[in-house]
Amino acid sequence: MIPPVFKSWRRRRLLARTAIPDDAWRERLAAQPMLAGLNGNERAALRQWVTLFLHEKAIHGAQGLTVTPTMALHIAQQACLPILRLGIDWYDQWSTLIIYPDDFLPRREIMDDHGILHLDDSPYSGEAWERGPVLLSWAAIAAGEPLIIHECVHTLDLRNGVANGMPPLHPEMSIQDWTQALGSAYDNLNTQLQREEPTALDPYGASDPGEFFAVMNEYFFVEPWTLARHYPDVYRQFCQFYRQDPLARLPPVTHDPDGQAQVPNPSTPTDTGGRDQGRVIVPRTMRHPSPT
């Protein structure tokens, strides 16, 4: 393990000597709507974490994919949004990302409830492991799916050893309040599905508490108005945990002639068709230029 004092010195030295080109930084920042509301201090902090992320994480292409500097910057910007006020050390338990051109097949054995082994050959668009790597589909990223956030927050959840929707909370936070907020929302989503009612949020979140946590994080960072409207207690808990308030970054809400609030820049719900059986597939998309 690298002594903290040496790590801090090495990072200061790296930040002093390494700079992301201004044009590349501004271009990628402008192309990602979820980053549009960051103020000057937040953008400076994000740039610092992105610089360290690109230096400390290995980003490899798989199946012949070449990860260009623009692609790597795009990935790093989204990956560092959740840890904007937490710090890069929240990602210190893993060091590698593997980027596939499209969905991938892990082809591993899984045991069913009866103790019978089966070959899992379902397509995945993303997967995260406690010690890494983080696996991502570039096709899903380029399509605008918040896949990077989904898998990176899985690694935050895994800091407690299991993806169960309970990352290490800050000392001032209440475990009871957290479990009550997320547990009630998770139960509500499952109840809606059992009753075959339409759900305002992605039903994939009902898969298990770990997936619920990751899916709700997508809304927190990409469509905060949706999470705040339907599960306000979850939104408040996330604000405390991430020390961010994405709703506060949005421009003022306008109203149509009937007096209905118009949410700025809402994402358009889409149907992804064949749902991936792995950790992630999300039906919402943020439309932006595809990085190459």
Mind listing the pLDDT tens digit for each residue in 242-268? 999 999 998 765 444 444 444 444 333
The parent domain of residue 281 ranges over: 175-285
Query: Can you give the CATH number for the domain in which 33 is found?
Result: 1.10.472.150
Q: Are residues 9 and 111 in the same domain?
A: yes
- Is the separation of the CB atoms in 190 and 212 below 8 Å? no
Provide the pLDDT for residue 104.
87
Q: Is residue 230 part of a domain?
A: yes
Q: Are residues 129 and 185 in the same domain?
A: no
Prediction pTM value: 0.82
Q: Are residues 108 and 10 in the same domain?
A: yes
At which residue do the structure tokens 């949020």 appear? 201
Q: Is residue 43 part of a domain?
A: yes
Mind listing the pLDDT tens digit for each residue in 181-207? 999 999 999 999 999 999 989 999 999
Q: Is residue 193 part of a domain?
A: yes
Q: Which ranges of the chain have pLDDT less than 70?
A: 1-6, 9, 16, 107-109, 111-112, 118-121, 252-292
Rounded distance, CA 170 to CA 238, Å? Answer: 11
Q: Are residues 281 and 190 in the same domain?
A: yes
> CA angle, 53 as apex, 52 and 54 as ends, to 5°?
90
Rounded distance, CA 126 to CA 238, Å? Answer: 22
Provide the pLDDT for residue 260.
47
Q: Is residue 159 part of a domain?
A: no
Q: Are residues 20 and 84 in the same domain?
A: yes
Number of domains making up the chain: 2
Provide the pLDDT for residue 108.
66
Q: Are residues 24 and 135 in the same domain?
A: yes
Q: Is residue 160 part of a domain?
A: no
Q: Is residue 94 part of a domain?
A: yes
Q: Is residue 126 part of a domain?
A: yes
Closest CA to 132 of 82, 98, 83, 88: 98
Q: Are residues 80 and 206 in the same domain?
A: no
Query: Can you give the CATH number for the domain in which 227 is found?
Result: 3.40.390.10
Q: Are residues 136 and 196 in the same domain?
A: no
Grouping H, G, I as helix, E, B as strand and the rest as coil, residue 254 is strand
Q: Are residues 29 and 137 in the same domain?
A: yes
